[in-house]
Amino acid sequence: MGLSTRRWRTAAACLVGVAIVGGGIAAYGFWTGINATGTGSATTGSDTGSLVITQTAAPTDLAPGVAPGAITGTIQNTGTTNTQAVSVTVSIASVTPAVGALTVCTAADYILATPVMPVNLELVPNAPPTPFSGATLGFNDTAADQDGCQGAVVSLAYVSS
């Protein structure tokens, strides 16, 4: 081999070495060059379901010695999105004694059993009402004077979850 050929090979080897090292540097620069910043946002939709609970039955003959009566109702989604209904819970909101009652009548004069009534459905907007049941309401016959409960109105409240 001549001197010029040897120089050519040496120069070519150096260029290949520079290309390899340069490629390594470029790759290294690519991975470590990520120093960007920025901002962004996202929004979460809101439930536009609107649930309507309607009582369909409740006892009307509460008195000492009378068996508790069933409480039933329906729940309906009148909103615009599907809404999950796990249960409907009923409670005694108030007791209004009859006009002229001489003694007091309170929620303690009544027994509300199984107030949490399961629904466990995804309610579609404007679908027919879904029934619920399971709670009962009875008169709590105590040794006290409960004459104030004659003709009383028991107001019930409903909450869905």
> For 8-12, 30-34, 49-53, 121-125, which range has the lowest pLDDT when averaged over its residues?
8-12
Q: Is the pLDDT of residue 134 over 90?
A: yes
Q: Is the pLDDT of residue 85 over 70?
A: yes
Per-residue confidence (pLDDT) for residue 26, from 0 to 100 = 43
Mean residue pLDDT across the chain: 81
Give the model confidence (pLDDT) of 33-57 as tens digits. Answer: 445 545 455 555 555 569 999 999 9
Q: Is the pLDDT of residue 4 over 70?
A: no
Q: Which tokens is 89 given?
A: 């819970």
Q: Which tokens is 118 given?
A: 């399961």
